[in-house]
Amino acid sequence: MPYIVKDKILFLAEASKILSSTIDYNVTLAIISKLIVTSIADFCIIDIFEGHKLKRLAVNVSDPKKQQLAHKVFRFMPDPRNKEAIYDAAKLGAPIIIPKATKQWLSSVSKIKEERETIEKLGLNSHMFVPLKSGGEVIGVLTIASMDKNFSYTQDDAVFIEELALRAGAAVDKARLYKEAQEALYTRDEFLSIASHELKTPLTSILLNLQGMLNKIHKSNSKNPEIKETVRLIEISKRQTHRMARLINDLLNVSVVSTGKLKIEKEKFDLVTLINDVVMSFRTRLTNEKIDVKIQSSEKEIIGNWDYVRIEQVISNLLSNAIKYGKKKTITISSGKNNSYAIFKVKDQGIGISEKDQEYIFERFKRVVSDNEYSGLGVGLYIANQIIKAHKGRLTVKSQVGKGSTFIVELPFK
């Protein structure tokens, strides 16, 4: 193979283009090794730092017949205790050229006989060890080698390969950061899932105990004013515990949706009845806050096959938001259908949402109100939207600042 790249600038431009085509860590490493063995070398290894140690992540060879042999090299991780040029290049921060792989050099490369034999069998001659850098820091080392007995890498080649290594280093670092960010997100969702599960258990027991205390006090029929005050305090604790349970449930739902574990279990039910039932469950709160909810439907019943619990959750979420952001004005929940969809709308006359903000409100943890004025986690609409999407339906909003908002849910019958 001629280790000559005719138009180096064009080659580097092409390399940059190919490297920017992916953000996947393993694909990036594979692209780099492939670029090298189809241009300037017969053999290539990529070692990347994990902490202070280099980890072998990619190996490639130009001769398909030597693939198996090349993959053996994976087993031999570079050892900082050996006199290996790989670690020297990393320390130096500049390429190291071995013009010829002499017997003497080979014996100094590794203490492992099998490794030396593999290199010999591969027929590797001239080597170059090039540090991979990103933001001025060495993040790994690129090892390249030729199989031509009469060829030696030169200083000119080193300048060119350093240029390629610069682009490769930046691409590897970008892909690595992306991979780490994805892993961190996954860990966070897993943690949320476990934490919210664990928190639910003691909370259920607290609620049961509070209810038990209330029952005992009511049975004792005491007129003592101290007892009256105790009942008031227990009622407050119960409300706060319920609120905490709702927040924990929201967190649990976020982790279920984000980790792709949302399961839709369909059953046949009437949407009109469900809307009435959900509003009923809010009665105490609506009466306390003096808010009127009107229920309208063009149909007597709207029977469909959907996930009962999840649709109940969506209606509750939308109604709860209408109460929270509706400035205590009348809320209207209307429903209807056409041939393909059931439709229901939750309309309030509250603060409204600007057109720009309407783009964000369905995203996870996104809130467009001040935390001081309105409390919340910013997950209700995200979960509702994911539930409706899982039903192949649509959740949209029409709103004007200061005039109110209407959330529209379209649920397909099939």
Binding region for ligand ADP (CB under 6 A): 321-322, 325, 348, 350-353, 361, 367-369, 376-382, 405
Residues in CB range of 328: below 8 A, 6 or more apart: 289, 290, 291
Instruction: Answer for the pair 151, 178: CB distance below 8 angstroms, yes or no.
Output: no
Q: Rounding to the nearest 10 degrees, give the CA dihedral for residues 350, 354, 360, 361.
A: 0
CB of 358 to ligand ADP, least distance (A): 9
CB of 211 to ligand ADP, least distance (A): 27
Distances (CA, A) of 403 to 179, 326, 335, 399: 44, 10, 21, 7
- Residue 33 or 317: which CB sits closer to ligand ADP? 317
Q: What Rg value do the Cα atoms of the chain yield, rounded?
A: 33
CA distance 252 to 241: 16
- Residue 139 or 353: which CB sits closer to ligand ADP? 353
- Residue 376 or 412: which CB sits closer to ligand ADP? 376
CB atoms within 10 A of CB 58: 22
Helix (H, G, I), strand (E, B) or coil at 387: helix
- Residue 5 or 377: which CB sits closer to ligand ADP? 377
CA distance 392 to 408: 14
The dihedral built from the CA positions of residue 318, 320, 324 and 329, taken in this order, carries a sign that is positive
Q: Using a CB cutoff of 8 Å and minimum separation of 24, what contacts does 108-111 make?
A: 108/83, 109/82, 109/83, 109/84, 109/85, 110/76, 110/79, 110/82, 110/84, 111/79, 111/82
Instruction: Answer for the pair 109, 82: CB distance below 8 angstroms, yes or no.
Output: yes
CB of 373 to ligand ADP, least distance (A): 10
Residue 37 CA from chain centroid, whole number? 34
- Residue 172 or 379: which CB sits closer to ligand ADP? 379
CB atoms within 10 A of CB 190: 13
CB of 351 to ligand ADP, least distance (A): 5
CB of 405 to ligand ADP, least distance (A): 4
DSSP 8-state symbol, 134 = E
CB of 390 to ligand ADP, least distance (A): 17
Smallest CA-to-CA distance from 47 within 164, 155, 165 is with 165
Helix (H) or strand (E) holding 150: none
CB of 275 to ligand ADP, least distance (A): 17
- Residue 60 or 385: which CB sits closer to ligand ADP? 385
CB of 359 to ligand ADP, least distance (A): 11
Residue nearest to ligand ADP (CB): 376
- Residue 12 or 247: which CB sits closer to ligand ADP? 247
CB of 249 to ligand ADP, least distance (A): 12
- Residue 165 or 353: which CB sits closer to ligand ADP? 353
Distances (CA, A) of 231 to 202, 227, 356: 21, 6, 47
Residue 89, strand partner residues = none
CB of 194 to ligand ADP, least distance (A): 22
Q: Using a CB cutoff of 8 Å and minimum separation of 24, what contacts does 203-208 make?
A: 203/241, 203/244, 203/245, 203/248, 204/245, 206/241, 207/238, 207/241, 207/242, 207/245
- Residue 221 or 370: which CB sits closer to ligand ADP? 370
- Residue 76 or 382: which CB sits closer to ligand ADP? 382
